[in-house]
Amino acid sequence: MGTPTATQTTFLAIPDREAGVASYAILQLPYEGSVSYGQGTALAPSAIVNASAQVELYDPEVELDLEILNIHNPAPIEQLEGEDVEDYLNRADTIAKDLHDQGMLVLGLGGDHSITPALVRAARASRCAPDDHVTVLHIDAHADLRDSYDGSKHSHACAMKRVLDDGVDRVLSIGIRSGEKAEFELSDTDERIFTVTAQDLHKYPSAVEVALDKIKTISGKLYITFDIDALEVHLCPGTGTPEPGGLGWWDALRFVRAGFMETPNAQVIGADIVETVPMQGTSVNEFTAAKLATKFLAYHKARRLELDTH
Ligand SMILES: [Mn+2]
């Protein structure tokens, strides 16, 4: 643990590093324009940063003291009075791209899943050549492949459809257990999409290996988006649309670790964690998200150190 203060403004309570010096930016996106059921994802980013002050700075899995991380904590992107979703997302895109351009890997904290397409656009604009092959690793309970939802193309339920429309080459979805028939059909017929359902992970132990193998053979540029509702509900009862039957913590971490550390032919260009909703009387939701975000950083840093010494 760092040294927590009453309201924590730096991730892991590590002193903030300047934009030009830092390697990571923890970008808070308290946006919940399109959550269909539970409200409150806008409260999540600051709650997650607060909770992160309680996360131990030593990671025994990768044997890293996380105090070495250079983290910048830019101002949260608050939705402005009267600002519509498109303007908000364009602004988020511009801010995230600027952070990438200054050499920081952006880890977005939502907010609902509708922020992901903007963050992917920013990462691609800054870190990819036009002919780079880009994969989005999508860990989620929901397929998020609707073309529109509730009258909006920017809904959280459309996040993966939007990134494909934006020109991402491949979406690898893991943990999916909810969606309308057309979404599953699209996944079956569109060769850009590969889905490992939660049902398969539960029924066939080999499905875990299939998913891991799919991750490890990703080549090109890789963006990782983690919807917290991918996890089993006891880990995150506070989320926009809870779904029982999710991933256990350690299985989820295997997939995340594979994405960050076991992709010899791929380079991570950005990541996000979305759909957390803080609840009164428990800190489990924000703590789970804070711990997950910490693992993202630990895995990424461990991989960087590994590459430096080889
Ligand atoms: Mn989602």
Using the mean position of ligand 1's atoms as its centre, give its distance from the Cα of residue 18 in Å.
Answer: 32
pLDDT tier for residue 33 given thresholds of 50, 70 and 90 = confident
pLDDT at 270 over 80: yes
- Residue-wise pLDDT for 277-310, tens only, equals 999 999 999 999 999 999 999 999 999 999 988 7
Segment 129-137 shows an average pLDDT of: 97
Segment 171-179 shows an average pLDDT of: 98
Using the mean position of ligand 1's atoms as its centre, give its distance from the Cα of residue 141 in Å.
Answer: 7
- Residue-wise pLDDT for 93-115, tens only, equals 999 999 999 999 999 999 999 99
Segment 229-244 shows an average pLDDT of: 95
Using the mean position of ligand 1's atoms as its centre, give its distance from the Cα of residue 64 in Å.
Answer: 30
Q: Give residue 6's pLDDT.
A: 55
Using the mean position of ligand 1's atoms as its centre, give its distance from the Cα of residue 144 in Å.
Answer: 6
Using the mean position of ligand 1's atoms as its centre, give its distance from the Cα of residue 156 in Å.
Answer: 6
SS3 per-residue string spanning the chain: CCCCCCCCCCHHHCCCCCCCCCCEEEEEECCCCCCCCCCCHHHHHHHHHHHHCCCCCEECCCCEEHHHCCEECCCCCCCCCCCCHHHHHHHHHHHHHHHHHCCCEEEEEECCHHHHHHHHHHHHHHHCCCCCCEEEEEECCECCCCCCECCECCCHHHHHHHHHHCCCCEEEEEEECECCHHHHHHHHHCCCEEEEEHHHHHHCHHHHHHHHHHHHCCCEEEEEEEEHHHECHHHCCCECCCCCCCECHHHHHHHHHHHHHCCCCEEEEEEEEECECCECCECHHHHHHHHHHHHHHHHHHHHHHHHHCC
Segment 186-195 shows an average pLDDT of: 98
Residue 185, CB half-sphere, CA atoms under 13 Å: how many? 4
Q: Give residue 253's pLDDT.
A: 98
Q: Give residue 5's pLDDT.
A: 57
pLDDT at 4 over 70: no
Q: Give residue 162's pLDDT.
A: 98
pLDDT at 117 over 70: yes
Using the mean position of ligand 1's atoms as its centre, give its distance from the Cα of residue 244 in Å.
Answer: 14
Using the mean position of ligand 1's atoms as its centre, give its distance from the Cα of residue 138 in Å.
Answer: 8
Average model confidence (pLDDT) for the chain? 95
- In the chain, pLDDT over 70 holds for what percent of residues? 96
- In the chain, pLDDT over 90 holds for what percent of residues? 91
Segment 144-168 shows an average pLDDT of: 96
pLDDT at 255 over 80: yes
Using the mean position of ligand 1's atoms as its centre, give its distance from the Cα of residue 81 in Å.
Answer: 25
Using the mean position of ligand 1's atoms as its centre, give its distance from the Cα of residue 1 in Å.
Answer: 30
Using the mean position of ligand 1's atoms as its centre, give its distance from the Cα of residue 266 in Å.
Answer: 23
pLDDT at 37 over 60: no
Using the mean position of ligand 1's atoms as its centre, give its distance from the Cα of residue 66 in Å.
Answer: 29
209 contacts: CB under 8 Å, gap ≥ 6: none
pLDDT at 38 over 80: no
Q: Give residue 1's pLDDT.
A: 59
Q: What is the dihedral of CA 249, 109, 27, 252, to 10 degrees?
A: 20
Extents of the domains making up the chain: 11-308
CATH of range 11-308; options 3.40.50.1820, 3.40.50.2020, 3.40.50.720, 3.40.800.10: 3.40.800.10
- Residue-wise pLDDT for 55-88, tens only, equals 999 999 999 999 999 999 999 999 998 899 999 9
Q: Give residue 9's pLDDT.
A: 85
Using the mean position of ligand 1's atoms as its centre, give its distance from the Cα of residue 34 in Å.
Answer: 11
- Residue-wise pLDDT for 195-226, tens only, equals 999 999 999 989 999 999 999 999 999 999 99
Using the mean position of ligand 1's atoms as its centre, give its distance from the Cα of residue 190 in Å.
Answer: 19
Q: Give residue 228's pLDDT.
A: 98
Q: Give residue 34's pLDDT.
A: 57
Q: Give residue 309's pLDDT.
A: 84
Using the mean position of ligand 1's atoms as its centre, give its distance from the Cα of residue 309 in Å.
Answer: 37
Using the mean position of ligand 1's atoms as its centre, give its distance from the Cα of residue 53 in Å.
Answer: 26
Using the mean position of ligand 1's atoms as its centre, give its distance from the Cα of residue 37 in Å.
Answer: 13
